[in-house]
Amino acid sequence: MDQNQIMLALTKGDRVLTQELALLARAGIEPLDDPQSSRKLIFDTSLAGVQFMLLRSSDVATFVQHGISDVGMAGRDVLLEHGEDGYYQPLDLDFGHCRIMEAGLIEEPSLPRRLRIATKFVNIAQRYYARLGQQVDIIKLYGAMELAPITGMAHRIVDIVETGNTLKANGLTPMNLIHDVSMRLIVNKTAMKVKHRLVAEFIERMRTAVQAANT
């Protein structure tokens, strides 16, 4: 771990990466190569001592937790599913807003006592239904979640909802809010101690950029 260097983990994906880079630019941090066209995975930036790497959203928390990255940007949905130990969450970055919701058919038939739930958020769903005291069987899916209730594979789904238009188009409706979601800045606990000054300065730089975006 380079004591004079901060490694930042960013989430891949055109839309989220565009938002991440815009926030970094407001903080005075810009990549020296274009990450949206380059095949590189680690990038130098215009701010001395700061580099970033591009990762799948599901890997950002793992790299930060293990100290490969000192800080990272990840959606709270990913953090909740991954588990929130091993890192701090000092800042809500105030973009990427959506909701994790339970959803089902608009014309829902009578349901059995034990429900089948389709989701990619297995841990989040298990905790949610455990809080309710509801017995469920979880079916893990990675996409086309709306098909599960339509085809009878599952009674309900737990999924990310932004506008609800996709649900409505497929005869489903959001029913219960489980979590509000936005992008978060996360910090490795060891880096916070060992590189406290550098990390604290980076957090404040990002906090100022977030505030500037809202004025």
| CATH number of the domain bearing residue 150 | 3.40.190.10
Local confidence band at 59 (pLDDT 50, 70, 90 cut-offs): very high
Q: Examine residue 1 and state whether it is found in any structural domain, yes or no.
A: no
Paired strand residues for 181: 98
Q: Do 189 and 91 fall into the same domain?
A: yes
Sheet holding 136-140, edge to edge: 136-140, 115-119, 156-161, 98-105, 172-181
pLDDT at 36: 85
Q: Do 92 and 10 fall into the same domain?
A: yes
Phi/psi zone of residue 13: left (φ > 0), alpha (ψ -120 to 50 degrees), beta?
left
Q: Do 174 and 130 fall into the same domain?
A: yes
Q: Do 193 and 167 fall into the same domain?
A: no
Local confidence band at 214 (pLDDT 50, 70, 90 cut-offs): confident
Mean pLDDT over the full length of the chain = 94
Q: Do 88 and 191 fall into the same domain?
A: yes
Q: Examine residue 162 and state whether it is found in any structural domain, yes or no.
A: yes
Q: Which domain holds residue 152?
A: 98-179
Q: Examine residue 32 and state whether it is found in any structural domain, yes or no.
A: yes
pLDDT digits (tens, 9 = 90+) for 72-89: 999 999 999 988 788 999
pLDDT digits (tens, 9 = 90+) for 152-202: 999 999 999 988 899 999 999 999 999 999 999 999 999 999 999 999 999
Mean pLDDT of 19-26: 96
